[in-house]
Structure 1
Amino acid sequence: MSHRPPPRRSALRMLAGVGAVALGAPACGPDEKDAAAPGPRMGAEWESHARTFMAWPALRSVWGDDLPAVREDIARVARAVAEYEHVVMLAGPGRVAAARKACGSGVEVVPLAVDDLWARDTVPVFVEDGGKVTGVDLNFNGWGDKQEHTRDARVGRTLLAEYGIPRRKAPLVAEGGSLETDGEGTLLVTESSVVNGNRNPGKSRDRIEAELKRTLGIEKAVWLAGVRGQDITDAHVDSLVRFTAPGVVLLDRAHPDTPADVWSRAADQAKGVLSGATDAKGRRFEVVGLPQPDLARITGGGDDFVSTYINFYVANGAVFMPRFGDRRADSRARSILREHFPGRDVVPVRIDTIASGGGGIHCATHDQPGRPVG
């Protein structure tokens, strides 16, 4: 994974039992589809988007005095993405006006209660099913009851009802950041974030894999070890390795001056697995390193700071990457992303406060596939 020090806002987020939801996934209700229904396909992020969802952070208990600064970061990302596609910002009813003022007229702000900014994990993942988009609710439980999530646990059901999108309740607990696909049936996933008693107690990897295949239309899952208990996500794959095309992945690599740690060892393990694996179509993976910045040259910091470029976001016509302030590393990362996403603008965005909270641009955004709005 990335050079990610201890858990994202760990001391404040260890709120076991506060706003918790059941780890097990309840049976489908009358407004939900059977998760075993045939035919779903989870598309790749570089396919056409209808819109991007984001969330306006509300928890001062998590962000403390950094809450105004992280809202500035979120507004900056929203404005940047809105230059390329429709952005919907979810904000609690009492925070809509402030969010609109910060984000500007180019961002739609929708009154929908949220706790925090991590839309990648709280918004459902989307699959194409029978020619229509269906939202798969992954039963968000605060990354294993590590953070208050009373409102965020309801985002999936509420959002899909708001947009009239059919809802399918997954038979497991996971987050969008734990799932990376090429759109052709291959899934990359870390064991640490899914085969974990804080999400799926008593479930084996084989059972979880079968449920992911059935629910998301996956043909082959490539499992990476990840890292347990060192960050709030238990090492999501979207800060470790990302597809840029079928058969091609970018892998997080530590800066040469950064001492080896659990994250660099996890990246080495992932490289070893990927170098010997094939995807759902039988292709061997091309693995390309995406080096991190020099931590002595970045403008941000903090115990939870995530300094990886891997947590980029692919939108219609653009790729959004963090600008960390190490000019040489920022430029190198931008060049690598340009090479792998020809025809798209590569847009650096400053996100120092988001990164200090243990996440990145991908963590803060969630794409809905389909024809662009407007």
Structure 2
Amino acid sequence: MFHSFLPRRTVLRALTAIGAASVGSSACSGSPAATETGSLEPAVAGARRLGAEWESHARTYMSWPASTSIWEEDLPAVREEIAGLARAIAGYEPVVLLARPEHADAAQRACGDTVEVVPIPVDDLWARDTVPVFIEEAGRVAGVDFNFNGWGGKQKPHDKDNAVARSVLGKYGLARTETWITAEGGSFETDGAGTLMVTESSLVNDNRNKGKSRQEIEAELKKVLGVQKVLWFAGVRGEDITDAHVDCLARFTAPGVVLLDKAAPGTPPDSWSRAADQARQVLAGATDARGKAIQVIDLLQPDPDKVEGYGEDSVISYANFYVANQSVFVPKFGDATADERAQRILREQFPGREIVPVKISTIASGGGGIHCSTHDQPGQPS
């Protein structure tokens, strides 16, 4: 996530406690996982499309945080926030909450009857990164399994989160598309019309795709996601657990329109503001997959002195919003002027959708946000 700290804060505390020994997992950088026995045949390349988030959803996936070794004393508070967010989204579309079998009943009580709790083992709450990236092909929805490896081995253990993509696809009878790329769902942002935005720091990184060049990774992304053009931003290496996912930096609101995270006026320059400046330069000289110039709209962060209830390690970015059916969920930080400005911009960009501000102080303290906590499955292709 895009701030000058090294979260997911408590994930890294857990890593220190456990040590640097690697945990057994089927996800090895550069190594495709085997197709699950008895699953549907993998999708065949051709006429493949990665849809935009504002298109119709069949459901939203979320995950129930599982471990005191990760969240320590914050576990009850983060579970309360996840339950509240799940209930709020369930007012607009179906929500499936993944939970360890032994936690399923407690999660159901916390979320209520409007949320479906499915017993699939998870390690943590970051469904954006662990649930498969859904594509459309030949009139059906399929999922790409990007071989989650704990954000380059920074989360240990991650064996349960590594298996989430395969488990979700098996549960819902969706075809599994293999790739040799190791990545997370928060790595990718698309306009649904063939353009993809990514950060080089997260993908062209030996902790995920050792020995692979940007050109090789781009070719594979085009193949498995069906995109025609990839816009690369430099990002930031090693200053957060994701190595700077794009979904806290730049977000499409329509083909050719990008909201770009920007530090509040007067904020001292740092790695993250410089990354945003670099992304702005890329976008200023870029065209999308249709050959059209890209309009950039600033999404200013709140004044740090006016942020209420968030710690210094928290992700403070309005860009980590989530577009659900007929709604947009956006973080609320307590700077009334900045909160309203962000909501107004999203209202203008998504006319007819309800803008729903949500305070997520504990989720944000773990190095993520609303978008990181959710993952959309598209509706059935027409």
In structure 1, runs of 5+ residues without a counterpart are none
Residues 1:114 and 2:122 are matched in the alignment: yes
Task: Map 1:18-97 to 2 at 5 A.
Answer: 18-20=23-25, 21-26=27-32, 28-29=34-35, 31=39, 33=41, 37-97=45-105
Counterpart of 1:101 (choices 105, 109, 116) is 109
TM-score of the pair, normalised by structure 2: 0.94
Contact 1:8 1:304 in 2 (8 A): no
Contact 2:300 2:338 in 1 (8 A): yes
1:165-208 deviations in Å (ceiling 9; x for gaps)? 11111221111000000011000000000000000000000000
TM-score of the pair, normalised by structure 1: 0.96
Residues 1:195 and 2:197 are matched in the alignment: no
Shift of 1:18: 3.0
Q: Which amino acid aligns with 1:44?
A: A
Percent identity, please: 63
Counterpart of 1:250 (choices 259, 284, 301) is 259
Alpha-carbon distance in structure 2 between the residues aligned to 1:19 and 1:256:
46
The secondary structure found in structure 2 opposite 1:38 is coil
Alpha-carbon distance in structure 1 between the residues aligned to 2:124 and 2:3:
23
Q: Which amino acid aligns with 2:90?
A: A
Task: Map 1:1-374 to 2 at 5 A.
Answer: 2-9=2-9, 10-13=12-15, 16=20, 17-20=22-25, 21-26=27-32, 28-29=34-35, 31=39, 33=41, 37-147=45-155, 148-371=157-380
Contact 1:35 1:214 in 2 (8 A): no
1:259-311 deviations in Å (ceiling 9; x for gaps)? 11100000000000001100000011100000011111112333421000000
Alpha-carbon distance in structure 1 between the residues aligned to 2:148 and 2:50:
18
Alpha-carbon distance in structure 2 between the residues aligned to 1:64 and 1:27:
32
The secondary structure found in structure 2 opposite 1:296 is helix
Q: Which amino acid aligns with 2:346?
A: L
Shift of 1:327: 1.2
Alpha-carbon distance in structure 1 between the residues aligned to 2:61 and 2:149:
19
Alpha-carbon distance in structure 1 between the residues aligned to 2:32 and 2:364:
34
The secondary structure found in structure 1 opposite 2:377 is strand
In structure 2, runs of 5+ residues without a counterpart are none
Alpha-carbon distance in structure 2 between the residues aligned to 1:5 and 1:200:
23
Alpha-carbon distance in structure 2 between the residues aligned to 1:282 and 1:191:
22
Contact 1:76 1:349 in 2 (8 A): no
Shift of 1:23: 1.7
Q: Which amino acid aligns with 2:48?
A: P
Q: Which amino acid aligns with 2:23?
A: V
The secondary structure found in structure 2 opposite 1:65 is helix
Shift of 1:160: 0.6
The secondary structure found in structure 2 opposite 1:133 is strand
Shift of 1:27: 5.8
Shift of 1:325: 1.2
The secondary structure found in structure 1 opposite 2:310 is coil
The secondary structure found in structure 2 opposite 1:198 is helix
Q: 1:179–1:100: structure 2 CA closer, same or farther, 3 Å change rule?
A: same
Contact 2:43 2:137 in 1 (8 A): no
Shift of 1:8: 1.9
Q: Which amino acid aligns with 1:61?
A: S
Alpha-carbon distance in structure 1 between the residues aligned to 2:258 and 2:90:
26
1:2-36 deviations in Å (ceiling 9; x for gaps)? 33423321333455413543222326536465576
The secondary structure found in structure 2 opposite 1:199 is helix
The secondary structure found in structure 1 opposite 2:304 is coil
Alpha-carbon distance in structure 1 between the residues aligned to 2:92 and 2:4:
30
Contact 1:35 1:215 in 2 (8 A): no
Shift of 1:313: 0.2
Deviates more, 1:297-306 or 1:265-274: 297-306
1:305-334 deviations in Å (ceiling 9; x for gaps)? 100000000000000001111111111110
Alpha-carbon distance in structure 1 between the residues aligned to 2:357 and 2:15:
29
